């Protein structure tokens, strides 16, 4: 065998050559092909349960535990996700003012809402299909909430029926409803929820025409573009390919629903003082300031920056609750100082459930309550009743 033949025999194959070229190109800093699309942030490993220090520590493990489609569903906002990010930016525009400081052990976070004493104003926002996060789903979430005394708002689109969730633990439950245009289904579902122990009915009136661009880039098995809808009489085609299931909403909806409710009825999705006054005109007994976690309308305001406007419009006639973007106990304190009566957390509790199941959801709530106490102590307030506008400075754009 000649020298040329020997070189050819010991050389690489065409497949090896192409693989080598691909590896070379992928390593190019111009392509960023080997960058992890879901970086772990400052940590080089997943933290253990006992190492969790704040809510953000749970998110990477949640992301690793669930299919990408479930993570995307939990994470996404509508269209460009401007409002999603604005919800978090808004907390940078509110500064806490120290009032001299007190011992955190002396801080009392007890409050009262609709005649029920609550150990903390921190509540669980309604989020859909929690069984996607963990097999125990809403059952585990309710047990976690009960352990720390938190009130849970159960979503209209839960993995389990409301009576099953109510039987899982003894803590207080509220029920959230996406109303249907035909009143029969509303009456049946609201009757079922109240019979099972729902202490309030929360009617969501935002989320009317959401378009999730992130879901259009479905690259994983089981994903689905949530903007694509079936052509049915209840959901007719339209140029924007968005569902029409809630495009019919009018204020008169509350006239129809109130006779079905023997418990307080709240409106969720209010972002203006004018909307808050309309709620009062139609006999609504509570308001939740919310942009659906940035999933309702793009380029809208954060819930925090419109909170004072809503509170002023209500004038203390009904409780005002808030959600969207809350991740820390200090976030809750800022909202309470701007007039909220309670604060709901959604994604944060899902992260805990998806990371460690029921113990994870419980720990998230314990961390948030501990952070709230610490922030109150630093601001120099010993009780919820002492919180007022003087402990914050705002710089909303």
C-beta separation of 169 from 142 below 8 A: yes
What is the per-residue pLDDT for 13?
A: 64
Residues with a known catalytic role: 292
161 is written with which tokens? 């029926």
| Gap between the Cα atoms of 264 and 26, Å rounded | 59
Residue 268 has phi, psi (to 5 degrees) of -115, 125
DSSP string, 134-146: -TTHHHHHHHHHH
Using only the alpha carbons of the chain, give its radius of gyration.
24
148 is written with which tokens? 């720390």
| Gap between the Cα atoms of 95 and 204, Å rounded | 30
| Gap between the Cα atoms of 335 and 290, Å rounded | 12
Tens of each residue's pLDDT in the chain, 397 residues: 566 556 556 666 665 665 555 444 444 444 443 434 455 555 567 889 999 999 999 999 999 999 988 998 999 888 889 999 999 999 999 999 988 889 999 999 999 999 999 999 999 999 999 999 999 999 999 999 999 999 999 999 999 999 999 999 999 999 999 999 999 999 999 999 999 999 999 999 986 555 677 766 655 544 444 433 334 445 555 554 455 666 778 999 999 999 999 999 999 999 999 999 999 999 999 999 999 999 988 899 999 999 999 999 999 999 999 999 999 999 999 999 999 999 999 999 999 999 999 999 999 999 999 999 999 999 999 999 999 999 999 999 9
311 is written with which tokens? 């509170």
Is 206 part of a structural domain of the chain?
Answer: yes
What is the per-residue pLDDT for 101?
A: 80
Nearest to 176 by CA among 157, 161, 149: 157
Residue 204 has phi, psi (to 5 degrees) of -80, 125
Is 332 part of a structural domain of the chain?
Answer: yes
Is 5 part of a structural domain of the chain?
Answer: no
Could you tell me the CATH number of the domain that includes residue 154? 3.20.20.70
What is the per-residue pLDDT for 155?
A: 98
Domain interval for residue 328: 54-392
Nearest to 156 by CA among 206, 202, 211, 209: 202
Is 316 part of a structural domain of the chain?
Answer: yes
Is 26 part of a structural domain of the chain?
Answer: no
Is 135 part of a structural domain of the chain?
Answer: yes
What is the per-residue pLDDT for 296?
A: 84
Query: What is the H or E stretch that residue 308 is in?
Result: helix 303-314
Is 40 part of a structural domain of the chain?
Answer: no
Residue 233 has phi, psi (to 5 degrees) of -55, -30
What is the per-residue pLDDT for 223?
A: 44
| All residues at 6 or more sequence positions from 175 whose CB lies less than 8 Å from its CB, including other chains | 153, 154, 156, 162, 190, 193, 194, 198, 200, 201, 202
| Gap between the Cα atoms of 338 and 332, Å rounded | 10
What is the per-residue pLDDT for 224?
A: 47
C-beta separation of 143 from 168 below 8 A: yes
With 0-12 / 13-18 / 19 or more C-beta atoms within 10 angstroms meaning exposed / middle / buried, residue 52 is: buried
Total domains in the fold of the chain: 1
What is the per-residue pLDDT for 202?
A: 98
Is 43 part of a structural domain of the chain?
Answer: no
| Gap between the Cα atoms of 333 and 379, Å rounded | 9
| Gap between the Cα atoms of 285 and 266, Å rounded | 6
Output the 3-class SS for 339-393: CCCEEEECHHHHHHHHHHCHHHHHHHHHHHHHHHHHHHHHHCCCEHHHCCHHHEE
C-beta separation of 223 from 72 below 8 A: yes
Q: Tell the residue number behind the tokens 């209209």, with chain if given.
A: 156
> What is residue 223's three-state secondary structure?
coil
| Gap between the Cα atoms of 305 and 186, Å rounded | 33
What is the per-residue pLDDT for 221?
A: 42
> What is residue 153's three-state secondary structure?
strand
| Gap between the Cα atoms of 344 and 365, Å rounded | 11
| Gap between the Cα atoms of 78 and 68, Å rounded | 18
- Can you give the pTM of this predicted structure? 0.84
């Amino acid at each position: 065998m000649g020298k040329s033949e020997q070189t050819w025999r010991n050389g690489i194959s065409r497949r090896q050559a192409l693989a080598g070229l691909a590896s070379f190109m992928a390593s190019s800093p111009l392509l960023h092909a080997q960058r992890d699309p879901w970086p772990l942030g400052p940590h080089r490993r997943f933290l253990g349960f006992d190492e969790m220090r704040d809510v953000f520590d749970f998110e990477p493990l949640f992301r690793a535990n669930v299919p990408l489609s479930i993570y995307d569903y939990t994470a996404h906002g509508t269209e460009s996700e401007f409002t999603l990010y604005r919800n978090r930016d808004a907390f940078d525009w509110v500064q806490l003012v120290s009032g001299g400081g007190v011992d955190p052990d002396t801080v009392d976070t007890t409050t009262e809402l609709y005649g029920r004493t609550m150990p903390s104003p921190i509540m669980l926002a309604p989020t859909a299909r929690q069984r996607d996060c963990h097999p125990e789903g809403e059952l585990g979430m309710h047990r976690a909430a009960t352990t720390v005394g938190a009130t849970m708002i159960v979503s209209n689109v839960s993995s389990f029926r409301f009576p099953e969730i109510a039987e899982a633990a003894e803590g207080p439950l509220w029920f959230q409803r996406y109303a249907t245009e035909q009143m029969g289904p509303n009456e049946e579902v609201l009757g079922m929820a109240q019979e099972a122990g729902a202490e309030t009915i929360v009617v969501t009136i935002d989320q009317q025409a959401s378009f999730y661009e992130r879901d259009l880039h479905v690259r994983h098995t089981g994903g689905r573009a949530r903007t694509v809808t079936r052509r049915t009489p209840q959901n007719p085609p339209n140029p924007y390919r968005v569902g029409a299931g809630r495009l019919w909403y009018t204020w008169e909806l509350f006239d129809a629903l109130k006779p079905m409710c023997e418990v307080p009825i709240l409106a969720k999705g209010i972002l203006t003082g004018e909307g808050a006054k309309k709620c009062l005109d139609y006999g609504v007994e509570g308001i939740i300031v919310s942009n659906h976690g940035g999933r309702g309308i793009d380029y809208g305001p954060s819930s925090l920056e419109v909170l004072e406007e809503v509170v002023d419009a209500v004038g203390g006639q009904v409780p005002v609750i808030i959600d969207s973007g809350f991740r820390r106990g200090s976030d809750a304190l800022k909202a309470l100082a701007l007039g909220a009566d309670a604060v709901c957390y959604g994604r944060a509790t899902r992260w805990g459930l998806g990371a460690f199941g029921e113990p994870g959801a419980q720990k998230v709530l314990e961390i948030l309550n501990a952070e709230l106490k610490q922030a109150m102590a630093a601001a120099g307030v010993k009780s919820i009743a002492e919180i007022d506008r003087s402990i914050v400075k705002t710089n909303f754009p």
